[in-house]
């Protein structure tokens, strides 16, 4: 709250500096509507913020000034000298109160009744003079913030970027020449300082949008209580980062939209029940990054906006001629809500209804190069979308190349990276479109060289596939010639002609000074022809894997926090996250990590091993998630040799040669089972048949079966098996086996005759495996 008040004070001071001159100029030219609107919006903004911060005296004063100025805007009153003097006196008092708020002191003694009375039409007494705030009082307040121009910060950022490029050039020259240890040490120290400076300067411009969202629940609660409504707010996407100036510019638009949604959009409990809705209205606010924009959605399930009523109101107030109105589409009718002075409110309230909110929304958003979209259905609700540009941000990215041209891809959209000629990958063309089958999953495949019209210098089968999942889109594989470094890139808008292609999210500079364009994964998918519906994608997955002699097991090679060299099956690694150490806590008997609004168990670490930042794998078995902490990723690799299984169960199931060196194999099944079941020992060797098309059995269950001594075969391989493991509902009638173990996904059995085993009942599974071995001996 202190930070929000500091922002309010700073905003008021900026607006007050120029406002005195505006009022004097308005007195000389009463018909200057632009100046009148500027003064009116200031007092309207102060009034709205005061209601949130609980400054009733300041709110009453600004509300009175707003009423008088509203009469002038409507033509019901003339801007004479007495009114201008009264408004000046009110603004002087507002400045005095803002100074008191900044200093943490009480408001000036007395009341403001004389100032408010002077605003009334025909007042026969002048407004009382308001003493200027003493300079000593101003200086007594400790400065809370320093406000710098964006241009200055941009210049500093540009200078730091030049320093990074100069450092890299110096590094290359030092590598090419023989240097002694003291020089190397001094260079490393300089390099570290420059990196810290670059990070610090960058952070001055960036801010998580959750700092804007944090005040919304309280505001919604207070407004709904005041209006006798019940409203539940749902907020998502607080971890999205954008320019601080953007946050300041969208603060007022967001506030206006929310106030209008609660006041005009969401009905009273009685009205909602009559309409067949729940008593509690839902107000959803979300933020997400889409290419080169930040999208903020505000959606309610209220009465919606009636475009026909807006059109009728616009005709009544003279905003439109009747022949123009007849040509407007339904969408254009809804856009009338952004016209200044247009409101369909039945009565004026202290919350909204003067027709000033939505034109403020549009003007503020357009000022930063954004747009506002509205979509509404009468009786169902309204969605407002603010689209603001991503002018400056830090994005973790992967650099790739086609020929000798380099590009960058946001790391957040990357699911995995595989070689096109890998044994677990099959490429084919169906109906002129590329399809990649990666470990049984079929996804569309597009060539970056083809999209850009560039000549590739790598054969198709030797390219690298990057599996991408754009925000809200389908998974697809992008074929590139080569991949290079993971980098933290400072992104700025590209030229309009470049951005209009829909392929790019911005531009940046590599550490060697060369320009790099950052791709928009969703734009690549659209231009590349990837328009797959969820049903089509599900149908392709249901076709099952193609036959492949895949003897190698793809793994992610990494080093644990203890320095150990380990490997995880790649299929169980959902993504890589990095969190501050404060996000890890001991709770319910084990370490847990908070990722956004999700709390996951954390393996691979102890509290004493954590540093300032914690990197972790997010493991997923299809139904559950857990985190696994690690120090660094070494490489993508494959287990091709024999696995020497551990003689006791635990986090490590065995050891094998990976990349020519020993690596411990992490037992994903044990990790998951530790949180939902107990453990037991394995059994002797048998032949076990597992379904090829069940990813959970292949990636989670198979390691424990192999560790128990079984040779695992696929469902299509010929010959009789000693054991078949299947899920409830599978048809295994034609599979020859001496014994079948049925697994269920729910912990509790369906009835007394249900002899299936819960798939995370480790003790039950191992006991069943041992029983099968005894049966074989007989």
pLDDT at 323: 80
pLDDT tens string 395-412: 667 889 998 888 988 876
Cα separation, 372 vs 93, in Å, equals: 35
Cα separation, 14 vs 49, in Å, equals: 15
10 Å Cβ neighbour count for 475?
Answer: 17
Please report how many Cα atoms fall inside a 13 Å half-sphere around the Cα of residue 276, on the Cβ side. 2
Cα separation, 231 vs 237, in Å, equals: 20
Cα separation, 710 vs 686, in Å, equals: 4
Cα separation, 726 vs 92, in Å, equals: 79
Angstrom CA distances, 694 to 103, 443, 676, 701, stand at 66, 17, 21, 10
Q: Which residues lie closer than 8 Å to 386 by C-beta, 6 or more apart?
A: 250, 253, 254, 295, 296, 298, 365, 370, 372
- pTM confidence score: 0.38
Please calculate the CA angle 728-729-731 and round it to the nearest 5 degrees: 115
Please report how many Cα atoms fall inside a 13 Å half-sphere around the Cα of residue 351, on the Cβ side. 20
Cα separation, 7 vs 80, in Å, equals: 34
Cα separation, 326 vs 430, in Å, equals: 49
Q: Are 675 and 637 in contact (CB under 8 A)?
A: no
Q: Are 454 and 425 in contact (CB under 8 A)?
A: no
Q: Are 449 and 395 in contact (CB under 8 A)?
A: no
Angstrom CA distances, 452 to 293, 446, 480, 530, stand at 22, 11, 11, 15
Kindly report the CATH class assigned to 210-389: alpha beta
Q: Are 266 and 305 in contact (CB under 8 A)?
A: no
Q: Nearest Cα to 307, choosing from 342, 331, 340, 341?
A: 331
Q: Which residues of the chain have pLDDT under 50?
A: 131-143, 348, 352-356, 472, 532-550, 677-684, 777-778
- Which tokens in the block code for residue 187? 């260079």
Cα separation, 627 vs 649, in Å, equals: 20
CATH superfamily of 2-140: HPT domain (1.20.120.160)
Q: Which residues lie closer than 8 Å to 68 by C-beta, 6 or more apart?
A: 77, 83, 86, 87, 119, 120
Residue 578 pairs with which residues in a beta bridge? 615
DSSP 690-738: --TT-HHIIIIIHHHHHHTTPEEE-TT--S-BSEEEEETT---TTS-BS
394-542: CATH number: 2.40.50.180
Angle between helices 2-28 and 33-53 (to 10 degrees): 150
pLDDT at 480: 92
Does the domain at 687-777 match CATH 3.40.50? Answer given as: yes
Q: Which residue has the tokens 């400076």?
A: 197
Burial of 143 (0-12, 13-18, 19+ CB in 10 A): exposed
- Tell me the domain boundaries of the chain: 2-140, 150-208, 210-389, 394-542, 553-676, 687-777
Cα separation, 354 vs 345, in Å, equals: 8
Burial of 112 (0-12, 13-18, 19+ CB in 10 A): buried
Cα separation, 718 vs 740, in Å, equals: 17
Q: Are 372 and 338 in contact (CB under 8 A)?
A: yes
The strand pair at 757-758 and 441-447 is best described as: unpaired
């Amino acid at each position: 709250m202190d930070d929000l008040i500091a922002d309010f004070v700073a905003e008021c001071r900026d607006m007050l500096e120029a406002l005195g001159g505006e009022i004097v100029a308005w007195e000389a030219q009463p018909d200057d509507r632009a100046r009148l609107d500027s003064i009116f919006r200031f007092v309207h903004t102060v009034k709205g913020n005061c209601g949130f911060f609980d400054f009733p005296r300041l709110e009453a004063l600004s509300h009175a000034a707003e009423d008088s100025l509203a009469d002038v805007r409507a033509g019901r009153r003339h801007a004479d000298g007495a009114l201008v003097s009264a408004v000046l006196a009110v603004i002087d008092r507002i400045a005095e109160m803002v100074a008191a708020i900044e200093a943490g002191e009480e408001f000036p003694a007395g009341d403001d009744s004389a100032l408010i009375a002077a605003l009334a039409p025909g007042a026969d007494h002048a407004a009382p003079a308001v003493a200027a705030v003493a300079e000593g009082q101003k200086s007594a307040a400790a400065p809370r913030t320093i406000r710098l121009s964006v241009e200055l910060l941009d210049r500093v950022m540009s200078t730091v970027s030049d320093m990074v490029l100069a450092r890299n050039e110096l590094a290359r020259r030092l590598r090419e020449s023989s240097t002694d240890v003291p020089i190397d040490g001094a260079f490393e120290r300089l390099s570290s300082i420059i990196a810290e400076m670059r990070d610090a300067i960058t952070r001055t411009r960036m801010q998580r949008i959750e700092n804007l969202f944090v005040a919304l629940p309280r505001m919604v609660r207070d407004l709904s209580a005041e209006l006798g409504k019940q409203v539940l707010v749902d907020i998502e996407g607080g971890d999205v980062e954008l320019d601080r100036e953007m946050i300041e510019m969208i603060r007022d638009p967001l506030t206006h939209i929310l106030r209008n949604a609660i006041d005009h959009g969401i009905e009273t409990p009685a009205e909602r029940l009559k309409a067949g809705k729940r008593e509690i209205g839902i107000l959803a606010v979300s933020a997400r990054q889409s290419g080169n924009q930040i999208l903020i959605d505000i959606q309610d399930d209220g009465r919606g906006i009636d475009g026909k009523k807006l059109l009728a109101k616009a005709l009544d107030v003279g905003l439109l001629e009747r022949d123009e109105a007849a040509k407007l589409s339904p969408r254009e009718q809804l856009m009338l809500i952004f016209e200044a002075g247009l409101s369909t409110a039945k009565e004026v309230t202290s919350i909204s209804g003067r027709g000033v909110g939505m034109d403020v929304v549009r003007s503020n958003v357009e000022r930063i190069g954004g747009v506002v979209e509205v979509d509404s259905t009468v009786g169902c609700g309204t969605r407002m979308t603010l689209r603001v540009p991503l002018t400056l941000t830090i994005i973790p990215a992967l650099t790739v190349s086609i020929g000798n041209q380099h590009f960058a891809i946001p790391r957040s959209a990357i699911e995995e990276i595989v070689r096109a000629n890998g044994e677990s990958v099959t490429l084919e063309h169906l109906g002129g479109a590329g399809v990649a089958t990666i470990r049984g999953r079929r996804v569309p495949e597009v060539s970056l060289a083809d999209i850009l019209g560039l000549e590739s210098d790598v054969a198709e089968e030797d390219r690298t596939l990057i599996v991408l999942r754009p925000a809200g889109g389908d998974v697809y594989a992008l074929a590139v010639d080569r991949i290079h470094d993971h980098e933290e890139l400072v992104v700025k808008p590209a030229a309009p002609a470049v951005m209009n292609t829909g392929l790019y999210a911005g531009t940046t500079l590599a550490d060697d000074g060369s320009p790099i364009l950052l791709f928009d994964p969703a734009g690549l998918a659209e231009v590349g022809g990837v328009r797959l519906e969820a049903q089509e994608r599900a149908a392709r997955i249901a076709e099952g894997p193609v036959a492949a002699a895949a003897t190698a097991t793809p793994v992610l090679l990494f080093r644990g926090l203890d320095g150990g060299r380990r490997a995880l099956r790649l299929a169980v690694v959902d993504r890589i996250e990095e969190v501050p150490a404060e996000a890890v806590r001991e709770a319910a008997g084990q370490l847990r990590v908070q990722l956004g609004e999700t709390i996951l168990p954390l393996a691979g670490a102890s509290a004493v091993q954590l540093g300032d930042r914690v990197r972790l794998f997010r493991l997923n078995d299809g139904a559950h998630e857990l985190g696994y902490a690690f120090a660094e990723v070494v490489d993508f690799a494959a287990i091709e040799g024999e696995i020497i299984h551990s003689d006791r169960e635990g986090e490590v199931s065995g050891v094998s040669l990976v990349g020519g060196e020993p690596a411990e194999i992490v037992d994903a099944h044990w990790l998951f089972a530790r949180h939902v079941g107990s453990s037991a020992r394995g059994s002797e060797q048998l032949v076990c048949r597992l379904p090829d098309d069940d990813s959970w059995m292949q990636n989670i269950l198979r390691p424990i079966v192999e560790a128990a001594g079984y040779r695992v075969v696929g469902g299509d391989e010929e010959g009789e098996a000693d054991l078949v493991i299947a899920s409830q509902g599978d048809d295994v009638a034609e599979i020859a086996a001496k014994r079948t173990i049925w697994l269920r996904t729910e912990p509790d059995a369906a009835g007394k005759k249900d002899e299936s085993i819960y798939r995370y009942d480790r003790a039950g599974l191992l006991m069943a495996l041992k029983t099968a071995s005894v049966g074989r001996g007989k």
